[in-house]
Structure 1
């Protein structure tokens, strides 16, 4: 294969869907029908991510159960079912991953997927990702840890009106999967056990929505830049500012992340990161 396999490994609620929408519309990039493939996380972090394959199977069963003579010939439905069947083949045969990623690519030079839960992988899993294709490159989007966590709470409430943010905030901020999703420095360390630094491109969410940042991503992927729609919103959540007490709680819970990223980037952080660090003495 001559294509580049470009994988956005997170972070959750840091612009991954917006970037996926941009690259899906790019003439030199190809995405499978689903943004989040959940291949590596389902294999290597099954305690948190095997559920996605179960959910996909349930969706497939629902779609097929509702088929009628009038709808079974719909090419959109056929394509969706075929894509899901290709995804299921990976369960028994990991080599099917590349078949799935390249299905319908028509020679486009970049194959792209964005699965934020990949940020939970360890060095061994990233080495498997590296070795699955001759040219694998990673994109890691970072967002102020407190804002990212609050956005994930609002996203959950958007999709589940019964989700009580006050209750779940305290319950989830220390839970292992949420800690893994938000521990950027750990992800850096694990990625760099398998990939050389030039195979990893990092952008801050707070700086992502500029043509300059998008052009950098295109240059990293080896494709021509094209204008982006910075007014588009993807995976929008309900509105609502984080209460000051909750912000302090979140900043302190992720204090090690602020410190680690600050050291890695030698203080070159977005303004709202620096403000939170100064405000709470991190």
Structure 2
């Protein structure tokens, strides 16, 4: 429909501030964002991860139902209604996933239903960065106005953040998070393993794929360090065709557990990621200060 909002698809990168971006957009009066940040429709269909995603949604629904029971016991009407909306969102996503490839129409309905004349509806799923060029091209034409955003965070900082997250997920009884994180980092940098981490931050592959798949003017590639600031948000809002909505303080990416990266490991990581720094500097212009500081170690 001509009066439908533009669709924004944020494809990551993982650990590059997409949660902060989602919170900003969800609070923007011109943007419609459902309660589920990462819908995971297209990657579930393409990579056949139905079992994992449906189990994740089942756990989320069970948790929401516990919260709803507590809110109703407290006679908290507003909270109860809010949780009921979240449960309905989970049920809608489960329904579209169960339809598989035939669920694309349900996906669009889910994104747009109830948008109330807002200008943009969004899906912020970093895993979409791993989709094929053909799939991304199809997504870019699934509606009259589809726009893509890709955030690039300093490669060393992004990698270390992702490693820390994986350390928590992979932690075994008797292991300590700092030791686990350092072992994972060594596997990535020294052995070329843990490719599920490095692929999420392969700016060369992802950006070039997006440039080929997305029509001109419909793709914004930006630095996390810039785009999540006041000036950067002006660029984002202009790209989306929405009013600027200033924030009282700078948005920050979710850092997770705080662990310091040693100088030795930082230098090793910078060397490992040198092609990423070189490509981004050549393709997207001057690098933010944090990027330049790590580049100096190469």
What TM-score range do you get, normalising by the shorter chain?
Answer: 0.7 to 0.9
TM-score using structure 1 length: 0.87
Mapped contact 1:144–1:273 kept (Cα < 8 A): yes
Partner in structure 2 of residue 89 of structure 1 = 95
Partner in structure 2 of residue 52 of structure 1 = 53
Partner in structure 2 of residue 136 of structure 1 = 146
Partner in structure 2 of residue 250 of structure 1 = 269
More helix, by proportion: 2
What is the distance in 1 between the residues matched to 2:228 and 2:86? Answer: 30
Partner-residue secondary structure (3-state), 2:212: coil
Instruction: State the shift of 1:124 in Å.
Output: 1.1
Bigger drift between 221-230 and 257-266 goes to: 257-266
What is the distance in 2 between the residues matched to 1:67 and 1:19? Answer: 27
Instruction: State the shift of 1:66 in Å.
Output: 8.4
Q: How does 1:1-282 map to 2 (within 5 A)?
A: 1=1, 2-46=4-48, 51-61=52-62, 63=64, 71=72, 74-91=80-97, 92=99, 93-156=103-166, 163=177, 164-172=180-188, 174-231=193-250, 233=252, 235-266=254-285, 268-280=286-298
Mapped contact 1:60–1:84 kept (Cα < 8 A): yes
What is the distance in 2 between the residues matched to 1:147 and 1:50? Answer: 32
Partner-residue secondary structure (3-state), 1:203: strand
What is the distance in 2 between the residues matched to 1:45 and 1:52? Answer: 11
Mapped contact 2:147–2:219 kept (Cα < 8 A): yes
Partner-residue secondary structure (3-state), 1:94: helix
Change in CA separation of 1:33 and 1:150 when aligned onto 2, cut-off 3 Å: same
Instruction: State the shift of 1:231 in Å.
Output: 4.4
| CA RMSD in angstroms, aligned pairs only | 2.7
What is the distance in 2 between the residues matched to 1:271 and 1:235? Answer: 19
Instruction: State the shift of 1:222 in Å.
Output: 0.6
Mapped contact 2:156–2:270 kept (Cα < 8 A): yes
Bigger drift between 193-202 and 214-223 goes to: 193-202
User: CA deviation digits over 1:90-130, x for unaligned, max 9?
Assistant: 22022111111123311211001211111112201101211
Mapped contact 2:40–2:125 kept (Cα < 8 A): yes
What is the distance in 2 between the residues matched to 1:129 and 1:270? Answer: 31
Partner-residue secondary structure (3-state), 2:122: strand
What is the distance in 2 between the residues matched to 1:234 and 1:142? Answer: 12
Bigger drift between 179-188 and 190-199 goes to: 190-199
What is the distance in 2 between the residues matched to 1:261 and 1:58? Answer: 39
Gaps of 5+ in 2: none
Gaps of 5+ in 1: none
Instruction: State the shift of 1:155 in Å.
Output: 3.8
Instruction: State the shift of 1:179 in Å.
Output: 2.1
TM-score using structure 2 length: 0.83
Change in CA separation of 1:20 and 1:71 when aligned onto 2, cut-off 3 Å: same
